[in-house]
Amino acid sequence: MQRRCTIIGGGAAGAALVAQLARKPGAPALDWIVGAPAPGRGIAYATDDASHLLNVRAAAMSSIGGAAPGDFAEYLRHRGFDHVAANFVPRALYGDYVQHALAQAGHTPVVHAAQATALHALPENRFEITLDDGRALVADDVVLAIGALPARALPGVSPAALASGAYAIDAWHDLAPSQAPEHVLVIGTALSAIDVLLTAAQRWPRAQLTAISRHGRLPRLHAPGVFAPFDGADALLARMASRADAAYWLRCLREAAQEPDAEWRAVIDGLRAATPRLWQSLDARQRRRFLRHLKPLWDIARHRVPRETAAKIDALRDSGRLRVSAARLAEVDVGDTRALRVRLRDARAMPTFETDFAIQATGLDLDARATSHPLVRQLVDDGLVGADPLGLGLSASSDGRLLRTDGSAWPNLHATGILLSGALWETSAMREIGAQAAALAERLGSTNP
Ligand SMILES: Cc1cc2nc3c(=O)[nH]c(=O)nc-3n(C[C@H](O)[C@H](O)[C@H](O)COP(=O)(O)OP(=O)(O)OC[C@H]3O[C@@H](n4cnc5c(N)ncnc54)[C@H](O)[C@@H]3O)c2cc1C
């Protein structure tokens, strides 16, 4: 009998797998639980703000469903966007492309516009998946492609501040204050925060903006053009692999970036394919040290911002509308003259001030130990799947099979995307998600009699 597979999650990761499976002759019958109204776009590609750009040049953006590299740039050319292959184009265009690729895919899944809320193991290695509309599906294989977990308020944000409607914990959905704010605080200075600042600047043209993060550093810039790979990548990798020590790695990276003619971006990009292997060589103590000391530097160097985006941020700073500071959030409560009173820690200036609206843009939440996501909560509480001990998603093997709490791998319960961060570290971008979809499609196709 043909096997049945359920994919949970209607973002680009789910779409990539659907499109890959469409190419497989022995593919299982598919149920796709999409949750969202426009399957395929997910969080990243649902934005309609044209200032939200891809952080990869169009030509290098991954193709969906195993199409030839450059398929996205080709799609853009067909739509009349000539000469954009080397550009950073709006993310919405990639969402269009994913939906186009889905429409082209031959094998169509049964799409369920619902949320999966629970999963239970049945006899004979099958699963029952409960939906929030009261239905249940049965599957031989299940793939979690649910992206990140729901955002949680940072410690120190009072219940009254949350209830005021002036504190947005989800930068992607909650940007609707009751009236146009005159001052907005953005918590975070990485890529999500950049998106939020651009939207806020446009939506509320009179608002003053303040952005804070522990280091107050904005992401580094993409190079003006394409650069050659780093010549010393193999030697650097061998050196790093010889000692599983985060501090030593930082030294290796700094030294490599200082070599004559070395382009630091090429140094860091040269590690990409080997990152999961390097990450897996770290023990728990070293992983903690990596997260504490190397991650902030890694994030700004690895996740770079297009120059035109940076120019917009610079213009906001130069005009005096935006202030970026190094500080940590200590407390947010309701204010006297404005909606919120904010107290900062380690701030050089203005440790306390009031703001009309605060937006939490500190990155994606991955902590399955503390999440309110109903399905993940149930999986972890019932002991079906372990939570990553460092809060980096779900416990999984390096090929994306989820692990039970005793450490054994489910043969037929898989995950893809950012919830595999604890297993792979480098797993959030379309390049990795596309590769995972290809490997999963191979595995799911080959189990079909
Ligand atoms: C703002 C942003 C910009 C990015 N830019 C780039 C870029 O330029 N280039 C690049 O390569 N990568 C980029 N990425 C990284 C990566 O490409 C995206 O995160 C990718 O789209 C992830 O897709 P996903 O399907 O894993 O997750 P998501 O986009 O989060 O989609 C998951 C979907 O599953 C749904 N879901 C969750 N739980 C359930 C449930 N129980 N039942 C049903 N549905 C559920 C969610 O509602 C959501 O719609 C970006 C990421 C973000 C957040």
Same domain? For 261 and 133 the reply is: no
CB-based contacts of 165, cutoff 8 Å, min separation 6:
177, 178, 339
Q: With contact defined as beta carbons under 8 Å apart, do 47 and 91 qualify?
A: yes
Same domain? For 191 and 315 the reply is: yes
Same domain? For 145 and 166 the reply is: no
In a domain, 228, yes or no: no
Atom of ligand 1 at shortest range from CA of 114: 43
In a domain, 74, yes or no: yes
12 lines ligand 1 (CB under 6 A): yes
pLDDT band at 449 (very low <50, low <70, confident <90, very high): very low
Same domain? For 273 and 203 the reply is: no
pLDDT tens across 277-305, in order? 999 999 999 999 999 988 988 888 899 99
Checking phi first, is residue 238 left (phi over 0); if not, alpha (psi -120 to 50) or beta? alpha
* Biggest alpha carbon–alpha carbon distance for the chain: 68
36 lines ligand 1 (CB under 6 A): yes
Q: Which of 339, 360, 381 is the last residue of a domain?
A: 360
What is the pTM (predicted TM-score) of this model? 0.95
Query: Is the pLDDT score of 318 beyond 80?
Result: yes
Mutate to test the pocket of ligand 1, among 53, 54, 146 (most ligand atoms within 8 A of CB): 146
As a whole number, mean pLDDT of residues 399-416 equals 97
Checking phi first, is residue 414 left (phi over 0); if not, alpha (psi -120 to 50) or beta? beta
pLDDT band at 448 (very low <50, low <70, confident <90, very high): low
Protein residue with its CA nearest to atom 20 in ligand 1: 12
Q: Which of 253, 272, 302 is the last residue of a domain?
A: 302
Range of the domain at 141: 4-149+365-446
10 lines ligand 1 (CB under 6 A): yes
Residues listed for the chain: 449
In a domain, 227, yes or no: no
What is the 8-class DSSP label of residue 320?
A: T
219 lines ligand 1 (CB under 6 A): no
How many Cβ atoms are within 10 Å of 428's Cβ, its own excluded?
21
Same domain? For 191 and 331 the reply is: yes
pLDDT band at 187 (very low <50, low <70, confident <90, very high): very high
58 lines ligand 1 (CB under 6 A): no
Same domain? For 18 and 126 the reply is: yes
171 lines ligand 1 (CB under 6 A): no
44 lines ligand 1 (CB under 6 A): yes
Same domain? For 196 and 330 the reply is: yes
Same domain? For 113 and 32 the reply is: yes
The CATH code of the domain that includes 320 is: 3.50.50.60
Residues pairing with 32 in the sheet: 7, 111
Same domain? For 277 and 322 the reply is: no
How far is residue 426's CA from residue 369's CA, in Å, rounded to a whole number? Answer: 21
Residue type, 128: E
